[in-house]
Amino acid sequence: MIPKEIVDEIRGRVDMVSLVGEHVRLVKRGTNHVGLCPFHNEKTPSFNVSAGHKYFHCFGCQQSGDPFEFLMQLEGISFPEAARQLGARTGVEIPDEQPGEGAAQRRAREHRQRLISANEAACRFFEQQLVAHPQRQLARAELEHRGVDPAIADRFRLGYAPHRWDELTRHLQEAGVSPRDAEEVGLIARNREGTGHYDRFRGRLMFPVRDVSGSVLAFSGRILPQPGADGDRDGPKYINSPESPIYRKGSLLFGLHEGRVEIRRRGSVVLCEGNFDLLALHQAGFPNAVAPLGTAFTTVQARLLSRYAEDVVLLFDGDAAGTKAIRVAHPLLAEQGLRARVAALPKGEDPDSYLRARGAAGLEALIGGARGSVEYLIDSAAAAAGETAAEQAAALESLGSVLADVKNSVELQLYIERVGQRFGVSDPRVVRQQLRKGVQRERSTPPENIGKSALDPAPERVKLPRLQAELLGLLLDRPALLETGDGAALERLLTSHELREVYRAARAALQESGVLDVSELLSTLEESGALSWLKERLALQVYRDRDDAEQMLHNGIPLLAKRNLERELPRLSREITEARRTGDDDRAARLTRDRDQLRRSANDLLRRQR
């Protein structure tokens, strides 16, 4: 939408080395400049900047581009946003009115710009009050008490909202900010009489809430002591800006603007909970930390993080509230393809207190030893479960929704084994069934519709003996034949463990209810290696006529018996010999019993046919 000649002029004026140098320490090497890539973590510089071509390229991660691409990749912004930043930097004016823009779109854009300008004017006012207001010491003492360095306060543009009712209101009026705009973004509020306005933020330490490009979209104000009140504080601890056309709760992350470059470089982000915790982390050398601004973590915030990082460390309290926050964040991060790990703080500690007690090295070790979020939630559920069987079952069930988000089948199987070990349940099928109950309970979903790609990955297709599968399929078409002599004989001739499972489940269902319930049969055999074959076979009905089916079964039984004598008995004999050779006596004994039973069954059937 921006005219090409303006884009070309901006590109021509940009000092590429200066632009990149604000984010990367560059060293001149020949005609180029080299530094550590801001887009991935590396120890040997492979990031090259050409001043003449106004171009960058990393030989490590292969990222490359011009000044616009550099800002777009670094900050996760669109081309028009990058162009406006560079236009402001180089003095090239981009027309407000864009080609093809309608009147309504233009008004909406201008409205947004006015609201951002109102917040920017307020932010500058709060910053100035922290420096010059007669009562600034109330805010400065809070920062000193929290150990916040002036450099960090400046970087995050912290400020002071005076205790008086109308100082900001008067300042905005003098700055030409419309009261309507200031009221719309929650800076001021209308008097009850409706004749004027008063400051919404009074007597507070102010935290500007910025988007990734640095625009101030909202504020969070922390209560300060009343002047001369000996430390008394009157009002809620925090007041946050209300939602507005430029701000939605749960849409921004505190510290993302300041940490975006380091997050991108490391590919990792630390997610903490409080404003002061965030400041303490940045100050201690963890500039890749962000915080969700006092609200529960949201899908929008997870999506925002996915633009910058692949790995998220959840630095939350190790208590019940922290575990709850991790349960909320885990599926949102998983949905965005982010790897989540948990660095659980000791009970009663927050990042600020932990840093004071153990220093940056201690916190680095805690983060380095962070466990995967699924492992953490499994262990936490097991540790918090009661002692009764019912309490243990409920705790296991609660993990259903956690494991339902696991996409990798190998990881899922390992997690299921871990759940079984932690809860003392050895049968993985029982573990799966209990987990599925948990998913059903939390999502109010019928069992057959619950994430089968997660808790019910399709088992590998196994190769089944063709004639055995054909005869068993015949019985599924005509279940009444299970009760005949030939139907009963088939069980003894099935050498496939998987087909024998299907046979026994079908016969048990028929004997229990008199009919073969397909849904119930599939549910019973959800772990079977023959599940894929069974689903396909149940979808067909090859033998619609009972007489045809009965005749095929009658002819097929002796044929199968003969094949077993010719093929299966030699195979079993070889396996018995191998088991004895390796010292596996139990297996040898079991195979011997199978061989002897198979020989008796086959011979009996063949004699009967004669």
Q: What is the pLDDT of residues 124-134, one digit of tens each?
A: 999 999 999 99
Q: Which residue, of 240, 272, 290, is where some domain finishes? A: 240
Burial label for 129, CB within 10 Å (0-12, 13-18, 19+), is buried
Domain boundary among 314, 341, 375: 375
Please check whether residues 499 and 441 belong to one and the same domain.
no
Instruction: Tell me the residue range of the domain where 440 lies.
Output: 385-449
Is 39:24 a contact under the CB 8 Å cutoff? no
Whether 251 maps to a domain, the answer reads no
| Amino acid sitting at position 541 | Q
Residue 578 identity (one-letter amino acid): E
Residue 453 has pLDDT above 70, yes or no: no
pLDDT at position 99 is 57
CATH number of the domain at 162, please: 3.90.980.10
In terms of Cα–Cα distance, which of 104, 117, 122, 85 is closest to 10?
85
Query: In terms of Cα–Cα distance, which of 527, 556, 509 is closest to 452?
Result: 527
* Pair 20, 122 in one domain: no
Asked whether the predicted pLDDT for residue 109 surpasses 70, the reply is yes
CA–CA dist 185, 123 (Å, integer)? 13
Are 295 and 213 found together in one domain? Answer: no
Q: What is the CATH number of the domain that holds 305?
A: 3.40.1360.10
- CA neighbor of 254 nearest in space, from 294, 307, 299: 294
- pLDDT for 456 equals 52
Q: What percent of the chain has pLDDT over 90?
A: 37
Q: Dihedral sign for Cα 394, 398, 399, 401, please.
A: positive
Q: Determine how β-strand 55-58 pairs with β-strand 64-65.
A: antiparallel
The answer to which of 217-226, 371-380, 456-465, 497-506 has the lowest mean pLDDT is 456-465
* CATH code, domain carrying 540: 1.10.860
Instruction: Tell me the mean pLDDT in the region 508-526.
Output: 80
Q: Is 459 inside a domain boundary?
A: no
What pLDDT is stored for residue 446 in this prediction? 46
Q: Is the same domain home to 225 and 266?
A: no
Asked if residue 198 belongs to a domain, the reply is: yes
pLDDT at site 25? 86
Kindly give, in sequence order, each residue whose CB lies less than 8 Å from that of residue 334, ignoring residues fewer than 6 positions away. 340, 405, 406, 407
Tell me if 420 sits within 8 A of 426, measured CB to CB.
Answer: yes
Q: Where a domain ends, among 90, 113, 147?
A: 90
pLDDT tops 50 at residue 599: yes
pLDDT per residue as tens digits for the range 23-54: 888 998 887 899 988 888 788 888 998 887 88
First CA to last CA distance, the chain:
89
Highest mean pLDDT (candidates 33-47, 357-371, 526-540) = 357-371
- With 0-12 CB in 10 A as exposed, 13-18 as middle and 19+ as buried, what is 204? buried
Q: Are residues 33 and 117 in the same domain?
A: no
Q: Are 76 and 109 in the same domain?
A: no
Task: Give whole-number Cα distances, 509 to 476, 494, 498, 525, 553, in Å.
Answer: 12, 19, 17, 12, 21
Same domain, 133 and 71: no
Whether residue 549 is found in the same domain as residue 498? yes
Give a yes or no: residue 96 inside a domain: no
Give residue 450's pLDDT: 40
Q: How far apart are CA 257 and CA 245, in angstroms?
A: 20
**CB-CB contact of 435 with 417 (8 Å):** no
Judge whether 77 lies within some domain. Answer: yes
pLDDT at 256: 93
Tell me if 483 is assigned to some domain. Answer: yes
The model carries a pTM of: 0.66
Residue 101 has pLDDT above 60, yes or no: no
Strand-by-strand arrangement of the 238-240 sheet: 159-161, 204-210, 216-223, 238-240
CB-count exposure of residue 390 (10 Å: 0-12, 13-18, 19+): exposed
Separation between Cα atoms, residue 422 and residue 402, nearest integer Å: 15
Q: Name the domain count of the chain.
A: 5
Which token pair is 609? 């046919």
Is 395 strand, coil or helix?
Answer: helix
For 294-331, how does the pLDDT look when each residue is reduced to its tens digit (9 = 90+)? 778 998 899 889 888 889 999 987 777 888 889 899 98
Are 125 and 232 in the same domain? yes
State pLDDT tens for residues 481-499.
998 988 888 988 888 888 9
For 365, other C-beta atoms within 10 Å of its C-beta total 12
- Asked if residue 85 and residue 123 are part of one domain, the reply reads no
454 falls within a domain: no
CATH (domain of 36): 3.90.580.10
Neighbouring C-alpha atoms within 13 Å toward the C-beta of 174: 8
Which comes out higher in pLDDT, residue 24 or 287?
287
Confidence of residue 452 (pLDDT cuts 50, 70, 90): very low
- Contact yes or no for 397/434 (Cβ under 8 A): yes
Same domain, yes or no, for 348 and 417?
A: no
More confident residue, 607 or 418: 418
269 within some domain: yes
DSSP 424: T
Query: Cα separation of 280 and 356, whole Å?
Result: 9
Phi/psi zone of residue 446: left (φ > 0), alpha (ψ -120 to 50 degrees), beta?
beta
Residues 475 and 599 occupy one common structural domain: yes
Strand runs (DSSP E) across 155-306, as ranges? Answer: 159-161, 188-190, 197-199, 204-210, 216-223, 238-240, 268-271, 289-290
